Chains A and B, each alone.
Chain A
């Protein structure tokens, strides 16, 4: 079970490199190589940690990093199993608990202090897991199209398409053989800039690290980590997470793709009720789940607002 998929770790074709012009760095975590990029001022500047969800990687933040790097130190890692990081072959490796552990170790090993988190999709539960354990090391959080409780949204209860999509064998076919989240899911969950998710260098960038079935195992594990009822994997973890949100006093801002059916605007209002130090949600009317694709300018603005508060 130690087989790795690293075939894409070194080569980024020129058309993708042109829009993702960052130097790759790696750090060893749990015996595997975690890939990350780090741009901007290195000392005496706010540390911004940009975390991706599924099925993406640090490529998701390619248009945001250049807008903040003159003011901030910006870091964007790829979780183990995603992007240009190593990809252990065992699906059971990829739990919310382990993703939280590896990101916590990443933060610890790089000595990151007073971090501003930028989170969307799975980055929400991973980052809140970190924040609840290390609240004093979090300076702020920009929260976008995510959740932090055991019942994520009505969408996740539906058989069609959500539960069918990752059901046994169906999920293995659609995720591992057909790569449907990248090939179709990105397009379906983007509004303003969706045309570039139909083909060309942007879609090629998302495809790049997921070119084989074995490179997509973490992608399939993510939806299988979402709890639906008591007793499910992560139900208790996310119940405690929701309860803990009330104790997080660092400043939070909410930016939301209004057209997202995966994590609809009601999730933003739920965060607004639960968090003690949070802005009113900023809704992006022509934005959806992959809000980094739809609204990079607005995200950079919100990060700079958080920088002012810290």
Chain B
């Protein structure tokens, strides 16, 4: 299912905080991934916000060097303020998988959604249809 990108002033973002769900420390390992995502982040003012198929909202942004978090680009789930711990991990995995499908298709070239789906199927990753 497609991601729905939302604006920073979307009302659903009020009184929320970020709960980190994934960090990519070396987005430039394949430079085309970093180039695409940096472009998207620049276009979005440094923070990309999307609503995943589950209805949860996520932010994507660069973490600063020497920050307490790991350096790189991180994806965070937006949760109501003062939420203690993550819940519904399975849904988060499926949401991240939707993000990966979007990312891989946009990066393009040799990186195809079909290759991602087949790889996910081999490793039985949540979110991947059982029959590809």
Identify the A interface with B (CB < 8 A): 1, 89-92, 159-161, 163-174, 176-178, 180, 183-185, 188, 217, 224
Are A174 and B115 in contact, CB atoms less than 8 angstroms apart?
no
Are B115 and A168 in contact, CB atoms less than 8 angstroms apart?
no
Are B22 and A176 in contact, CB atoms less than 8 angstroms apart?
yes
Q: Does B15 contact A (CB under 8 A)?
A: no
Chain B, Cβ-Cβ closest to A167 = B30
B51-77 CB mask vs A (1 if < 8 Å, else 0) is 000000000000000000011010100
For the complex formed, measure the closest distance between the CB of A141 and the CB atoms of chain B, giving whole angstroms: 31
Within 8 A of A (CB), among B91-132: 93, 96-97, 99-100, 103-104, 110-112, 114-116, 118-120, 122-126
Q: Which residues of A contact B120 (CB under 8 A)?
A: 174
Are A165 and B23 in contact, CB atoms less than 8 angstroms apart?
no
Are A167 and B111 in contact, CB atoms less than 8 angstroms apart?
yes
14 pairs from A and B in contact (CB 8 Å cutoff): A91-B26, A92-B26, A159-B110, A161-B118, A168-B29, A170-B116, A172-B24, A173-B93, A173-B100, A176-B22, A176-B23, A177-B21, A177-B22, A180-B125
Are A180 and B24 in contact, CB atoms less than 8 angstroms apart?
no
A170 to B111, CA, bound (A): 11
- Take A178-B125, A184-B124 as given contacts and tell me if A168 and B24 are in contact as well, using a CB distance cutoff of 8 Å: yes
Among A164, A171, A188, the residue within 8 A (CB) of B115 is A164
A190 to B71, CA, bound (A): 35
Q: Does B46 contact A (CB under 8 A)?
A: no
Are B104 and A168 in contact, CB atoms less than 8 angstroms apart?
no
Are B25 and A161 in contact, CB atoms less than 8 angstroms apart?
no
- Take A160-B115, A172-B24 as given contacts and tell me if A177 and B30 are in contact as well, using a CB distance cutoff of 8 Å: no
Q: Which residues of B contact A163 (CB under 8 A)?
A: 30
Q: Does B27 contact A (CB under 8 A)?
A: yes
Among B22, B27, B100, B123, the residue within 8 A (CB) of A180 is B123
A291 to B25, CA, bound (A): 32
Are A174 and B125 in contact, CB atoms less than 8 angstroms apart?
yes
For the complex formed, measure the closest distance between the CB of B128 and the CB atoms of chain A, giving whole angstroms: 11
Among A165, A184, A224, the residue within 8 A (CB) of B26 is A224
A176 to B21, CA, bound (A): 10
Are A173 and B122 in contact, CB atoms less than 8 angstroms apart?
no
Among A91, A161, A172, A183, the residue within 8 A (CB) of B119 is A161
Chain B, Cβ-Cβ closest to A214 = B70
Chain B, Cβ-Cβ closest to A180 = B123
